[in-house]
Amino acid sequence: MKKEAAITVKDLHISYRGIKKFSIKRSLFKKKNSIEIFDAVKGISFEVEKGKILGFIGKNGSGKSTTLRALAGIFSPDKGVIDLHGNSVSLLSIGVGFQPKLTGYENIYLSGMLLGFSEAEIKAKEEEIIKFADIGSFIYKPVKTYSSGMHSKLAFAITAILEADIILIDEVLSVGDAKFKEKSYNKMKELISDENRTVVIVSHSLETIRELCDQVLWLHDGKVKKIGTPEDVIPEYKEFMAQ
Q: Give per-residue pLDDT as tens, 19-74.
A: 565 555 555 555 555 678 889 999 999 999 999 999 999 999 999 999 999 999 98
Contact 96, 104 (CB under 8 A): no
Contact 218, 55 (CB under 8 A): no
Mean pLDDT of 144-148: 91
pLDDT of 107 > 90? The answer is yes
Q: Where is pLDDT greater, at 29 or 183?
A: 183
Least confident range from 5-14, 188-197, 201-210: namely: 188-197
Q: Where is pLDDT greater, at 180 or 102?
A: 102
HSE (side-chain half, CA atoms, 13 Å) at 118: 3
pLDDT reported for residue 10: 98
Q: Do the strands 198-202 and 53-57 form a parallel or antiparallel pair, or are they unpaired?
A: parallel
Determine the 3-state secondary structure of 8 from DSSP: strand
| β partners of residue 200 | 54, 168
Domain locations in the chain as residue ranges = 5-242
pLDDT reported for residue 196: 86
Q: Where is pLDDT greater, at 186 or 177?
A: 186
Contact 173, 93 (CB under 8 A): no
Output the CA–CA distances (angstroms, integers) from residue 98 to 143, 151, 152, 192, in the order listed: 7, 9, 11, 25
pLDDT reported for residue 163: 79
pLDDT reported for residue 59: 94
Q: Do the strands 35-49 and 5-19 form a parallel or antiparallel pair, or are they unpaired?
A: antiparallel
pLDDT reported for residue 82: 98
Instruction: Say which CATH architecture domain 5-242 belongs to.
Output: 3-Layer(aba) Sandwich (3.40)
pLDDT reported for residue 29: 57
pLDDT reported for residue 56: 97
Largest separation between any pair of C-alpha atoms in the chain: 66
pLDDT reported for residue 187: 83
pLDDT band at 151 (very low <50, low <70, confident <90, very high): confident
What is the pTM assigned to this prediction?
A: 0.80
b/e per residue 204-235 (b: at least 16 CB within 10 A): eebebbeebbebbbbbbebebbebeebeebbe
Residue % of the chain over a pLDDT of 90: 58
pLDDT reported for residue 39: 93
Mean pLDDT of 154-162: 88
pLDDT of 95 > 60? The answer is no
